[in-house]
Structure 1
């Protein structure tokens, strides 16, 4: 029996030795592959994006200056109008009556002036002949001046009455587009009404209003030449506008102004960019996203998808040539971008970073890095 047992042991030992390389190979095959990319210094243009509110160059509330009823409406909501075009007519018959009253007052005043002139003409020769004293002539002249003042006042009253009557016809003060019309024909309106009759928006040119926080503002302006902010504005690149449906607006815009104050509550600096709007595609009050190209030199770029947040810190996973990973905190330039971040601290040129699936990796984990193409997507 012993020779048989020894033979069986030898066969078992031989079988275990034969299977050992396959087991080792199988163990190696369990190391998971992860895509990585190399971080290198390069010059690039990064598109930074900020939410913006769009306003026309003029948004004019149309309000009545007099009390009355809406008699006629000559335009419809959304209509394009020209400066001076008639929009509304207010039915206010009291102002027509004031014109007639003022005109009658003028005729009465003119008659009294003529009577006073006749009295002066009658008194003058009598004074020259010494029949009556100078007092009578002076009194007649004073009366004439008083009547002339009444006439002037009556004429001013007619002008005011005609002005008020003119307020019954309301015309557009500028070229633009008519907004909503809350009051319909027959509605009682006045200068103190809660809502305007409508709004005329001049949208031949529109402005995009957005804001930087203080840190973004300082980082952003440091990259442009100029002794003062007006000089720096001249060096700002042309900016783009993404409309609410995600399409890029055809016209390029330019930075025009930067607010002089930092909001103490929000820490924001307000900025404005202007865009021409020849086709009226953009309407006042719309929302959009403004895209600003930022040129960075000698920058370390990391794809946004290769980072994740942990306890309000931005992290990246660095892998060495042996496949060992290390979770690293990084600091980036505070300019929001949808694709890439500019690394200020935490990574060095030549580092490999995992670009996908790094959320479950911890320090010391061994992976099989699969090197992808070097970052060039942001370079222009």
Structure 2
């Protein structure tokens, strides 16, 4: 009987201990977040903008007179010189008209020659001679007009350049009113890259460039790069030449033009690319913009203290062109460990397990 009570008491004790063990709560794991030890850096940041390319001159070639295309002397993509013949329109009718007009000029000239000595000898009135002279001027003007039409039928290139598409073929009827041009000649010895920046970007660019006046700042801007549509950087550097005088009222953007030399004719009108504006920074603290938050008109960075707890720090920053990085003027110091993961989620005072990331990889200007 005593043995039975002993076993029951033992089972009850074990059951109690088991229930007590199940109610013990384990501490949650400390979350791990990436942090970067802050340091000063000298680097070149690249701000990128989509750009469209155009030759220094793009001229639509159109017919000045009516006629059928009789000959085409060029092919698409051909390089031509100023004055080189491109097209010839049919001139048979005009040639016949010119022959008839020339005969009238000859007859009018003969009439003037016949009347002149008669006037000199007072045989006839000079009114007849003046009438004959007026008739000569009229028929001569008609003849010259017809010759001009014939000359206009031979269409020449007004500039050195590259022939564009040839949408019309032999026998096509054209006139000065034809909507589609015969072709387009592009002078691509120099190519312009056109792109747009918003108001903030324009201010960032100008405020990070030396110079007193606006034009002085443009003149002192560094050379720019052009990345072609295949991802390869163009071998020649370009120079920003102009900003539009005012922002577009609909988009709030400024149009910008950069010039690139194109001696090898690699660049063509109508192509696209990416223009890169470099900004050189010396011995500054650079941080990613997405590693900060804006709170009550203040820019905040999160740092980790000696106890691995998150602390919010107000910082003073300025933007650099491109919109990806800030230069920190105050608030952060070298060797501060700044949170670059979980920003906007992790609250101040949270205990974390820092996962240290190399500072140089964070501010790599080539990293997207």
TM-score category of the 2 structures, normalised to the smaller one = 0.7 to 0.9
- Residue 104 of structure 2 is matched in structure 1 by 105
1:349 aligns with 333
Q: How many angstroms apart in 1 are the aligned matches of 2:173 and 2:313?
A: 69
- Partners of 1:185 and 1:309 lie apart in 2 by 67
Deviates more, 1:187-196 or 1:33-42: 33-42
Matched, 1:187 2:191: no
Candidates 319, 336, 341, aligned match of 1:333: 319
Q: Is the 8 A contact 2:308 2:351 kept in 1?
A: yes
Quote the Cα distance in structure 1 between the aligned partners of 2:172 and 2:312.
69
Please state how far the C-alpha of 1:316 moved relative to its aligned partner.
6.1
- For 2:282 and 2:201, how far apart are their aligned partners in 1? 17
- Counterpart residue number, 1:89: 88
Write the mapping of 1:213-292 to structure 2, written as runs, cut at 5 A: 213-292=198-277
Equivalent pair of 2:65/2:176 in contact (CA under 8 Å):
yes
Q: 2:156 is matched with which residue? A: 171
Which residue number in structure 2 is paired with residue 132 of structure 1? none
| C-alpha distance in 2 between matches for 1:298 and 1:347 | 16
Does structure 1 conserve the Cα–Cα contact (< 8 Å) formed by 2:201 and 2:322?
no
Which SS does the other structure have where 1:78 is aligned? coil
- For 1:174, what is the secondary structure of its paired residue? coil
Whether 2:308 is the aligned partner of 1:323: answer yes
- Rounded Cα–Cα distance in structure 2 between residues aligned with 1:59 and 1:309: 47
Q: How many residues align?
A: 351
Name the SS for the 1:192 alignment partner: coil
Which shows bigger deviation, 142-151 or 77-86? Answer: 142-151
The structural deviation recorded for 1:47 is 0.9
Which runs of 5 or more structure 2 residues have no equivalent in the other structure? Answer: none
Q: What is the CA-CA distance between 1:239 and the residue it aligns to? A: 0.4
1:211 matched to 2:204: no
Give the gaps of 5 or more residues in structure 1: 124-135
Q: What is aligned with 2:74?
A: 75
CA distance in 1 between counterparts of 2:250 and 2:319 reads 23
For residues 5-16 of structure 1, what are the structure 2 equivalents within 5 Å? none
Per-residue CA deviation, residues 110-146 of structure 1 (Å, 9 max, x unaligned), is 12102211321442xxxxxxxxxxxx66x23x32122
Q: Secondary structure at the match of 2:245?
A: strand
* 2: CA distance, partners of 1:328 / 1:198: 63
Structure-2 change in CA distance of 1:175 and 1:372 (3 Å): same
Task: Check conservation: 1:39, 1:352, Cα contact below 8 A.
Answer: yes
Contact 2:41 2:284 (C-alpha < 8 Å) held by counterparts: yes
1:38 and 2:58 aligned: no
**TM-score (structure 2 length as normaliser):** 0.82
User: Is structure 2 residue 126 aligned with structure 1 residue 120?
Assistant: no
Distance 1:69 1:315, change over 3 A: farther
The structure-2 alpha-carbon separation of the partners of 1:59 and 1:165, relative to structure 1 and needing over 3 Å to count, comes to same
Give the Cα separation in 2 of the matches to 1:92 and 1:307.
Answer: 74
Is the 8 Å Cα contact of residues 45 and 278 (structure 2) preserved in structure 1? yes
- Cα 1:232–1:110 change in 2 (3 A) is same
Change in 2 beyond 3 A, CA 1:361/1:98:
farther
Contact 2:287 / 2:328 at 8 angstroms: preserved in 1? no
CA offset at residue 363 of structure 1?
Answer: 4.8
Aligned counterparts of 1:374 and 1:215: Cα–Cα separation in 2: 27
**Alpha-carbon distance, 1:304 to partner:** 5.8
Q: Secondary structure at the match of 1:290?
A: strand
